[in-house]
Chain A
C-alpha cells in the first residue's frame, strides 16, 4: 500500500480508505493481535487463545460514487467489516479514513454526528421500528438529525414515492411484505442523503424475483444519486450485477479485489475459483476487456463500452461484428461472436 494512493483517496470526499483494519473477538484481543502479526493463522490463534479473528488486516480503497461489493461466505467477516465503517463494532486495530478523519478513533459525540450526517445503513433484517408508521420510519434518521417536522415529512413522503410505496405511508411495517419492508429500509437510508450508504446483505432476505427487481432499482437510483455504496453479499451473481468493484473476503482477510471481470477471468485462488465456477460469466465480463482494439471500419451495430457479454450475445444473430463505442460515441473496437464464446469458455473447468 503506497502512501500516495492513501493521500489521494483520503482527500476526495465520500470515499472510504481502510488500512489494516483488524478485529479480534475475545477478552484480551491485544495478545491475540500480537500472535496474528507474528504470522499465525486465524485457526491457530483461535486454537491457542480462544479468540476469534473477525477481520485480519483488511485494507481497501473505496472510491467515491462507486458501488463496492464485499463478497464472502457466512463467517468470512463481511458483516463485521461493514459495521466498522460506522463503528457499530469497535475495532482492535487499523484505521478507516472518511473525509480525512479516522472513524475508528473519533470521540463518541463526533461519531454520533458522523453517523447522523455521513453514513446511512440498510440492514438484512430491515431493522424497522415496529411501533412507527412507514413515513415515520423513513423520517427517523432525519428526526434524529434534528430536522423540522414539516421538512422531514416532505422528504420522507418523496422517498416513499421513489421506492414505490405511495399509499402505504400510514401502514405499520408488519403489514408489509418483506420486499416492501426493505423498500422502507432503503428509503430510510436514502432520505438521509448521505455520501456513503452501507448495505448489509440488504436483499438477501428477499425472494429471488423481488431481489432481482430491487437490484435493478438500486442500479437505476445510483445513476442519479452517485453515492458511495458499500454492499455486502454472499451471492456472487448479485455482486457481479451491481458491483463496480468487488472484494472477496475469506477468514476475515481480503483474498482478491478488483473489477468483476478481473475476478471472473483471473480468480486469485481455488476459493475464488469455486465462487466463479457457477457464475453467469456473460454478465460478469465487459466486452471492452475482450474486444479487438484499434481503428476498424465502423460496424452496423455498436454498443457502449459499459456493455457486458450478455448484452451483445443476441446481436450476433444478425451481425457478424459488433462495434464498441466509448462514452463520446467514438468507436474504439469491435468484437465477434467467436471472441465472446472464447472468453466465456476459457475459464470453464473441464469437469
Chain B
C-alpha cells in the first residue's frame, strides 16, 4: 500500500461542502443564467417537432443533394429517415437532433473564437491545450453529477455535458486550420498592407474553413455519442429508449433506438463531410481532378 503522506480527507470534505454551498446559494442564479440556452433548445425542439415529417425529408435530402450534386447521398438520407419513421422513433429522433443541433451551435459560437485566439497567441494555446485534454478524457459523470446538483436533472446539465464533451475537437481544429494556412499567402497579404483583422477574415478563416468544417463534423458526431448519457439525466430522446431497453431487458428496443442514433449520425456526418470536400475542391486544397 502507498504510505499516507498527508490526510486528504479535509480536501475532499472541502470540495463536497463547497459544492453544497454553491448549490444552496448560487443554484438558482446558475439556473437563471442557463435559461436562455434552455429556451433556445426548446425552440429548436419545438420547431423540429412542429415541422411535418415529409418536409424534413425534403429539406435534408435537398441539403444532401446540394452538397454532392449526386443522387446517392440523398437516397442514403431518405433511407435513414425512413428507418426512424417506420421504427416509431421519429419524435425521439427529433428531440435528440434538437439537443445535438443546440449543442453544436453553442459550441461553434464559443469554440470558433477560442480556436482563433489559440492560433494567434501561443501562450493561450499552452494554457488551453491541457484544459481541452481534460474535457475530452475526464469521464463525463464526474462533471455530470455536480451539474445535476446545481441545475437539477433535466435538459440543461445534459446540454452542458454535451458541450463540454463535443467542443474540444472544434477548438483544436480551428486552431490547427488557422496555423496551417500557407505562410507564403500570409506574407503576400502582409506585403499588400493588410491589418490583422483583414488577414483573419480575408485569408485565414476562408483558407482554414475546410478544417473548421471537419471540426464541426467531429462536434456533431461527439454530441450524438453523448445522447445516451445525456438521457440518463433527463434529456429524453433516442438515448432514453436505449436506457429503457437496457432496464427492461428489451433487447429489440435498445437495438432499434441504438440504430436510430446511428442513422442520425450517418445523415449529419455524410452531409457535413460532403460540404467539407466541396469547399476544399473550391479552394484548391484537394488534388485537382
* Chain A positions near chain B (C-beta within 8 angstroms): 86, 88, 112-117, 119-121, 123, 125-131, 140-141, 144-145, 172-175, 192, 198
For the complex, is B195 an interface residue (Cβ under 8 Å from A)?
A: yes
* Contact between A131 and B207, CB atoms less than 8 A apart: yes
Are A114 and B188 in contact, CB atoms less than 8 angstroms apart?
A: no
CB-defined interface of B260-289 with A at 8 Å, one 1/0 digit per residue? 000000000000000000000011110010
How near does chain B come to A70, taking the closest CB pair, in angstroms? 17
State whether A121 and B207 are in contact (beta carbons under 8 Å apart), knowing that A130-B283, A131-B283 are contacts in the complex. no
> B192 touching A131 by the CB < 8 A rule?
no
Q: How far is the CA of A243 from the CA of B192 in the complex (A)?
A: 25
Q: How large is the interface on B (under 10, 10 to 19, 20 to 34, 35 or more residues)?
A: 20 to 34
Q: Contacts A174-B284, A174-B288, A175-B288 known; A128 to B188 CB distance under 8 Å?
A: yes
Whether A144 pairs with B192 at a CB distance below 8 angstroms is yes
- Which single member of A129, A172, A192, A198 contacts B185 (CB below 8 Å)? A129
Question: Which A-chain residue is minimally distant from B194 (CB atoms)?
Answer: A144
Q: Are A141 and B192 in contact (CB under 8 A)?
A: yes
A interface majority secondary structure? mixed
Q: Which B residues are in CB contact (< 8 Å) with A129?
A: 185, 188-189, 202-203
How many Å from the CB of A173 to the closest CB on chain B? 7
Residues of B at the A interface (CB closer than 8 Å) are: 184-185, 187-195, 198, 202-203, 206-207, 282-285, 288
Q: What separation, in Å, do the CA atoms of A123 and B185 have in the docked complex?
A: 10
Closest to B285 in A: A130
Whether the Cβ atoms of A172 and B191 lie closer than 8 Å is no
Distance (whole angstroms) from the CB of B168 to the closest CB of chain A: 27
State in angstroms the CA–CA spacing of A128 and B282 once bound together: 14
Q: Contact: B193 with A125, CB < 8 Å?
A: no
Contact A116 B193 (CB under 8 A): yes
Structural contact, A172 and B284, CB atoms closer than 8 A: yes
B94 → chain A closest CB, angstroms:
36
Cβ–Cβ contact B187 & A88, under 8 A: yes
Bound state CA distance, A119 and B7, in angstroms?
69
Pairs across A and B, CB under 8 Å, 6 listed: A86-B191, A88-B187, A112-B194, A113-B193, A130-B285, A144-B192
In the complex, which of the residues B184, B190, B191 has the most CB atoms of chain A within 10 Å of its own CB atom? B191
Query: Contact at B192–A115, with CB atoms within 8 Å?
Result: yes
Which of A113, A125, A175 has most chain B Cβ within 10 Å? A125
Chain A neighbourhood of B282, CB < 8 A = 131, 172
Bound: A127/B207 CA distance, A: 13
Which 10 pairs between the two chains have the least Cβ-Cβ distance?
A127-B188, A174-B284, A116-B193, A115-B193, A125-B184, A121-B191, A130-B284, A112-B193, A131-B283, A141-B192
A residues in contact with B285, CB < 8 Å: 130
Contact residues in B for A130 (Cβ distance below 8 Å): 185, 207, 283-285
CA distance A126 to B284 in the complex (A): 15
Contacts of A126 in B (CB 8 A): 184, 188
